[in-house]
């Protein structure tokens, strides 16, 4: 599982590594920036009576530490330029935030908003209706008979937790179903002013720091584009001309896309298709964990998890080019010159794993028959993904070793996602053991560990993959 060339003979015989050997290993490993060897020596276990050495167990602790995570350390901080107008960013957005489960029968609750905030959402929806018998306004679903929640209760929850997980603006999208002369309209405005003490305002830029923002859910005028995105309204079915025009629209304006009414089980569209066209608000039903939900988590785990991701230059205003998200090419507005996006080459050496649990703890009693599938998604449409699968390691979930290499061509690095899945081979349907997704821009090179999450995207303690990542132009 470890590269023996990285060690001197004395490492294997004496179980320690000298400072010069550690420095050589770190240089060959290729992490940027290169970790400080002396700091690692101080932080992890030393060999007794041998100064400037690192024990073998200490070296293993380092390899499985956060310094060697597959996610770059910089992504744990807000490192992008946060001084642009809102249309320059992708924004972590939720749809029907008030629901706890499916769109038909689940309850509405204020805690559902807290859950969305914990997931990093900075755009939440409030569908406001008059309360029964002249009472205060309520929040509920427009079509389905879900149990409502009080508008004041939701506003107070948002006030208390809005900036606990991110200091950047929280956008409240209010779909107002109260009549202008209705008492509920007056009460809604009073509750807003009372709860937020006059802070909500029109949100146009992030430069002002943390504040609330209110926006109304108005239909887009004078355009052929559709805000609602059921299964057939995906970007790759709009056609090349429409996709290019949609990119131009989102350069100068903000666009919200959300699931259609057919998604009664709180399913999703693929947000990558929307991001490739520059859509700022790809609103997902956060009540359901599936691959699209995981893509959203991977996208907004970047930039310190603040909920705002700066778009690539070709998706932002005044860059002098048109962008075709289907062909992945830019075209100069002045000369018409066409240029493809610069490709990158990615090699993932799947070395092994540790502490892989059984996918079904109530099933058979044998060990995991594990294999890994690594997929790269970098184009509109999931059918165009590149995928690699290892062989099956039977009856070993403790420390399976694959030692297999996957090679990928990354056509759109700014919108590429690397997706890891571990399965337990079965006679009929293979069971998912663990999954993890990382944005290509977040990938750390060298020997890295991949954390694993279960099918509900809860972290699996102690379980991880050990891989080597190499990226080249």
Q: pLDDT grade, residue 226 (50/70/90)?
A: very low
Q: Going by C-beta distance under 8 Å and a sequence separation of 6 or more, which residues neighbour residue 363? A: none
Mean pLDDT across 415-419: 97
Residues 78-119: tens digit of each pLDDT: 999 999 988 999 999 999 999 988 777 788 999 999 999 999
* Residue 7: other Cβ atoms inside 10 A: 18
Q: Rounded to two decimals, what is the model's pTM? A: 0.88
Reported as a pLDDT band with limits 50, 70 and 90, residue 200 is: low
Rounded to whole angstroms, the Cα distance separating 54 from 65 reads 15
- For 190-227, letters b (16+ CB in 10 Å) and e give ebbeebbeeebeebeebeeeebbbbbeeeeeeeeebeb
What is the model's pLDDT at position 61? 87
Task: Give the tokens for residue 34.
Answer: 């290169």
- Distance between CA atoms of residues 125 and 192, nearest Å: 14
Long-range contacts of 157-160 (CB under 8 A, 24+ apart): 157/110, 157/111, 157/113, 157/114, 158/113, 158/117, 158/124, 158/212, 159/195, 159/196
> pLDDT tens digits for 137-147?
999 987 777 78
Q: Say how far apart CA 350 and CA 417 lie, in whole Å.
A: 17
Is the previous residue joined to 33 through a cis bond, with omega within 30 degrees of 0?
Answer: yes
For 230-270, how does the pLDDT look when each residue is reduced to its tens digit (9 = 90+)? 332 333 344 555 788 899 999 988 888 888 765 555 567 89
What is the mean predicted confidence (pLDDT) over 175-189? 85
**pLDDT on residue 215:** 54
């Amino acid at each position: 599982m470890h590269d023996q060339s990285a060690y001197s003979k004395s490492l294997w015989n004496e179980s320690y590594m000298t400072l010069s050997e550690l420095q050589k290993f770190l240089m060959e490993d290729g992490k940027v920036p290169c970790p400080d060897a002396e700091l690692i020596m101080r932080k992890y276990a030393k060999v007794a009576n041998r100064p400037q050495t690192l024990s073998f167990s200490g070296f293993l602790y380092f390899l499985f530490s956060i310094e060697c995570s597959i996610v770059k350390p910089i992504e744990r901080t807000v490192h992008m330029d946060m001084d642009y107008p809102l249309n320059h960013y992708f924004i972590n957005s939720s749809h029907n935030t008030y629901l706890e489960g499916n769109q038909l029968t689940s309850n509405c609750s204020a805690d559902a908003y807290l859950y969305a905030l914990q997931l990093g959402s900075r755009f939440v929806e409030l569908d406001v209706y008059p309360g029964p018998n002249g009472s205060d306004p309520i929040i509920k679903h427009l079509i389905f008979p879900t149990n409502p929640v009080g508008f004041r209760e939701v506003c107070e929850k948002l006030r208390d937790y809005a900036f606990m997980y991110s200091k950047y603006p929280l956008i409240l999208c209010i779909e107002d179903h109260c009549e202008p002369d209705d008492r509920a309209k007056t009460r809604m405005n009073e509750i807003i002013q009372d709860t937020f003490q006059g802070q909500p305002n029109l949100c146009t830029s992030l430069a002002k720091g943390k504040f609330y923002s209110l926006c109304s859910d108005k239909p887009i005028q004078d355009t052929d584009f559709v805000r609602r995105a059921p299964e057939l309204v995906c970007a790759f079915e709009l056609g090349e001309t429409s996709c290019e025009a949609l990119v131009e629209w989102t350069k100068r304006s903000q666009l919200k896309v959300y699931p259609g009414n057919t998604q009664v089980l709180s399913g999703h569209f693929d947000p990558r298709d929307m991001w490739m066209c520059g859509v700022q608000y790809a609103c997902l039903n956060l009540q359901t964990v599936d691959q699209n939900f995981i893509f959203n988590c991977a996208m907004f785990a970047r930039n310190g998890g603040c909920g705002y991701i700066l778009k690539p230059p070709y998706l932002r205003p005044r860059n002098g080019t048109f962008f075709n998200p289907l062909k992945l090419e830019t075209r100069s507005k002045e000369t018409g010159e066409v240029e493809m996006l610069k490709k990158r080459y990615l090699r993932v050496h799947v070395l092994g794993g540790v502490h892989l649990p059984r996918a079904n703890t109530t099933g058979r009693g044998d060990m995991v028959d594990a294999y890994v599938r690594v997929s790269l998604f970098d184009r509109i449409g999931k059918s165009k993904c590149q995928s690699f699968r290892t062989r099956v390691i039977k009856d070993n979930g403790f420390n399976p070793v694959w030692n297999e290499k996957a090679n990928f061509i990354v056509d759109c690095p700014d919108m590429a996602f690397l997706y890891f899945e571990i399965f337990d081979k079965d006679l009929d349907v293979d069971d998912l053991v663990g999954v993890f997704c990382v944005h290509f821009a977040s990938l750390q090179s060298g020997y890295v560990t991949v954390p694993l999450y279960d099918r509900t995207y809860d972290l699996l303690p102690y379980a991880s993959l050990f891989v080597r990542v190499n990226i080249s132009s």
